[in-house]
Structure 1
Amino acid sequence: MTLRGTRQADFAYQAVYRYMINLINEVSTDTRVKLPSLRELSQRLNVSISTIQYAYSLLEKEGRVYSVAKSGYYAWPLANSTATFASGDLLERLYVAARSPAMAVLSGDEPALLANLDDTLLRLERELVRQYPRQSQHSSQSCGVWELRAALAARYTSSPTRCWHADDVYVGADLRGVLDILIEVLGLRGATVLVESPCDWLILRLLQDADVRVIELPWMHGGRLNLVSLERALREESVQLLLMSSSLSLPAGVAVQPQDRLELAQLLDHYGCWLLENDLYGELSFVPTQAPLRDLVNPERLIVFSSFEKTLGPEAPYGYLLSRHMSSQLQRQFLLRSFRLSAIRQRAIARLYHSGRIDLHLRSLRALLLEQASAMSELLDQHLGGLVTYRMPVGGATFWLESARTVDMRQVFQYLLARAVVVAPGELFSISGLHHQHLRVSHTFQGLPNLHTALAALGEALRQAHQG
């Protein structure tokens, strides 16, 4: 089968998507079914691996498939039971449960669910299809199209001494692919890296799989950085880099304090340590923040990574990074991975930035997130008062809850699964045994009809799991 020669308005990933829907619909078993690998489908359908990966990411967002690290993609079973969720590691059970029908999923982190730009992007694509010759729509640009790279460079430039150029920007199929490249280019296998904690499990799992030695730096209860522990690690350990959020750290939901930011930058400069800045949530603070960390550190020891997905939605899953150094190594790695991304989609995203529509969208999205967070805070107090403590998040789409009493959070997780509710236990956000008394819940529900029931079940689960 080949997807070459599809009609002009029908992008390759859409044809792959429809093919996968038909393939999944053929599954009629009550056990999980492994789906073809990216390479198998690429050869079968005669399209790039990145196109297959993009179609899979859309299906994953819709709950039709789920991924398992080092294993592949699976279609969820038609008939699930609590026994289905009892096997495998905790993250796999969460993935399976969150993509099963009739579940109240409180574990997610999808800010753009409140206001995505799917329709706008598709409209821009139609305009661009008419504007650009067909042959230019599929031209191979391994690091991303120039228009998008230039738009991102302009977005991140803050002064004549802290400026970026299009050649400093690299766009990949998704965040995972970009981080894999960074691990390879930076030579992190076997190296020591400092990571703020809690930290996104995707990042932690990738570092773990690459045998990176991770030293976690937990946020303190007051929402401050433990600079004493940071300085000690920089002094006593052979730290290659610090992985830190730009301004907003999630799931902790805290912003780096101005004084902490300055002292951190000074420590990195003193010890000659690189900063790998996580800017996934840099645009999602409810109120304007101070200058991001990248504007304070030595620009000669700085790499930034992010993705469009948190702000634009699942139709824009691309990851990207900015680096002034190692250009030949980065170009080679991007070329080897054959990221033949949709040129039209990238140009459509670039137009959002050049036209200023991205800023209008972000203002609207931040306002909606703040409104939802305030409403969720009232519900948490109503249903979980006395059972959990939390700091009101300063941005993003989630709350970071801590049990007021010692509980078995895995028991809480399993109790809720039996009642069709999914939460994200805090231990997933650490690889050294931290945050066992925490959990992450989302607030982007837009009137989920069973939210009150789900939160009441969470309260009962915390009571049942109390270890007195």
Structure 2
Amino acid sequence: MSGFAYQAVYRYLIQLINEPGSGETLRLPSLRQLADRLNVSISTIQYAYSLLEKEGRVYCVAKSGYYAKPPGQAPLPACEGDLLETIYINARRPGMRVLSADDPASIQPLDNPLLMIERELLRQYPRIPQSPAQPWGEQALRVALAARYTVSPENCWHADDVYIGADLRGVLEILIAALGLQRATVVVESPCDWVILRLLEEAHVRVIELPVQGDGSLDPLRLESLLKSETVRLVLLSSALSMPHGSLIPRANRQAIAHLLVQHGTWVLENDAYGELQEEPEGHRIRDLLDPQRLLVFSTFEKFIGAEAPYGFVLAKGLRSELQRHFLLRSFRLSPIRQKAIARLYGGGRIDQHLQILRRLLKERRSRLINVLRERLGDALHIVEPQGGSTVWLRSSRPVNMERVFRDLLRQQVLVAPGDLFSLQGLHANHVRLSSLGYSDQALAEMVGLLGDSLRLASI
């Protein structure tokens, strides 16, 4: 047996042990498996394992094999660069208390019912033939979504108006391409989701931000001025619940904005990602007041079903040939069984039952966070009373350096979402978005106390 052979096997096993695993204990390949894989003798494998056993890296279980406990993952770097990159990296650090998560379905996911229906469907349809004729989603799910969004004979949708993609980001990328937004001018309500802002920025879109006012309304005079003075290709608005602000667009304001958009013949992209989480579903959404030929509506199942339903989708009556072409080019490979299972959740009324419970739980979590904020920080923060979703939008009562607050809390293993993430033009420098999902009252009180200390230190 050559020294080179067992040393090479030893190094190979060290790499296996150090790879991140899903559990605490890692089962290693058997002597024969490794001998066949690495083309060496069983005695060479046995010698390498004996070295690791002496070092305490592996242990042997009779009639079962060798096992190793992988070392704890090294902490990820704190990252002093890009703010969004810092958020993403630190959200995954061990021990980090994430007070910025926007994952509403996590407190009551529909994963189990969805997977049960999927297993039932697999028994009914053990072999689903591949259908190249449906590249924009399973027919059953498109029918269910069209029915969900239909409110009257005048405001109706059909399966051919629905396009389903692998995730929301992929669908948004297609919309940017299909609408020809590269280097065009787009008006977005602000604050705006950072995923949307980054995608527009990457496409070199000129973004003009229209601030959401204190009562949730948009300034129609400001919008009219923009439509007259700028070559606006598209206006991006929320359906009714404006997130992350958390407010509802007042009905009269919704009508005034819709009237302006119809008058100017402007393309509208409606963000309905949080529409199902609105506390009090009421009246028309902005889409019901617009020209359907100049309208696109996008959303995702992930916010209210959970991570097992990551698909994004868009409804559109216009741009049919462009959307079909881009969906064909993207060639999304989506599970037909999973889509059929989601359709059954709609058809059986399970989605509506689930949403009633989810909205109540989210309201309870938001109320707990707001109560702690008021008890611990008093008037230091102005709170927008949210009308849905899982987060709370806050503004410091005094000018502060919110990025300094963010960095200070990060050093104490608390992660928040500063307002700068939700604007490309620095409109929300004194704001922060918080979420209380998954934490006890005691943990919330401790984190809010740290937030208060950081706000005092960061006052300008």
Distance in 2 separating the partners of 1:23 and 1:274: 53
Provide the residue aligned with 1:244 in structure 2.
Answer: 237
Structure 1 residue 275 displacement after superposition: 1.1
Structure 1 residue 269 displacement after superposition: 1.0
Distance in 2 separating the partners of 1:345 and 1:460: 47
Please report the TM-score for the alignment, with normalisation by the length of structure 1: 0.82
Distance in 2 separating the partners of 1:89 and 1:23: 33
What one-letter code is carried by the residue in structure 1 that aligns with 2:202? D
Q: Which has the larger displacement, 100-109 or 447-456?
A: 447-456
Q: Does 1:431 align with 2:431?
A: no
Distance in 2 separating the partners of 1:307 and 1:287: 20
Q: Does 1:415 align with 2:415?
A: no
25 and 148 in structure 1: CA distance in 2 versus 1, 3 angstrom threshold: farther
Distance in 2 separating the partners of 1:303 and 1:180: 14
Structure 1 residue 86 displacement after superposition: 3.7
Provide the residue aligned with 1:123 in structure 2.
Answer: 116
Distance in 1 separating the partners of 2:370 and 2:73: 35
Tell whether the 8 Å contact from 2:302 to 2:308 is kept in structure 1 after alignment: yes
Structure 1 residue 23 displacement after superposition: 8.6
Q: Secondary structure at the match of 2:386?
A: coil
Provide the residue aligned with 1:191 in structure 2.
Answer: 184
Q: Secondary structure at the match of 1:385?
A: helix
Match of 2:141 among 148, 151, 163: 148
Structure 1 residue 133 displacement after superposition: 3.5
Name structure 1 gaps, 5 residues minimum.
1-21, 29-76
Provide the residue aligned with 1:38 in structure 2.
Answer: none
Distance in 2 separating the partners of 1:24 and 1:203: 39
Structure 1 residue 376 displacement after superposition: 1.4
Q: Secondary structure at the match of 1:181?
A: helix
Tell whether the 8 Å contact from 1:426 to 1:437 is kept in structure 2 after alignment: yes
Structure 1 residue 343 displacement after superposition: 0.7
Provide the residue aligned with 1:78 in structure 2.
Answer: 73
What one-letter code is carried by the residue in structure 2 that aligns with 1:324? K
What one-letter code is carried by the residue in structure 2 that aligns with 1:352? L
Sequence identity percentage: 54
Match of 1:325 among 318, 326, 331: 318
What one-letter code is carried by the residue in structure 1 that aligns with 2:218? L
Structure 1 residue 139 displacement after superposition: 4.2
Largest Rg, 1 or 2: 2
Provide the residue aligned with 1:12 in structure 2.
Answer: none
How many pairs align? 395
Provide the residue aligned with 1:350 in structure 2.
Answer: 343
Provide the residue aligned with 1:377 in structure 2.
Answer: 370
Q: Which has the larger displacement, 254-263 or 369-378?
A: 369-378
Distance in 2 separating the partners of 1:96 and 1:148: 35
Q: Does 1:172 align with 2:187?
A: no
Tell whether the 8 Å contact from 1:139 to 1:343 is kept in structure 2 after alignment: no
Tell whether the 8 Å contact from 1:104 to 1:451 is kept in structure 2 after alignment: no
CA RMSD of aligned residues (A): 1.7
Structure 1 residue 348 displacement after superposition: 0.4
Tell whether the 8 Å contact from 2:236 to 2:271 is kept in structure 1 after alignment: yes
What one-letter code is carried by the residue in structure 2 that aligns with 1:269? V
Provide the residue aligned with 1:101 in structure 2.
Answer: 94
Alignment of 1:276-291 (within 5 A): 276-291=269-284
Tell whether the 8 Å contact from 1:125 to 1:345 is kept in structure 2 after alignment: yes
Name structure 2 gaps, 5 residues minimum.
1-14, 22-71
463 and 330 in structure 1: CA distance in 2 versus 1, 3 angstrom threshold: same
Distance in 2 separating the partners of 1:105 and 1:443: 9
Distance in 2 separating the partners of 1:124 and 1:222: 42
Structure 1 residue 25 displacement after superposition: 6.0
Distance in 2 separating the partners of 1:161 and 1:310: 28
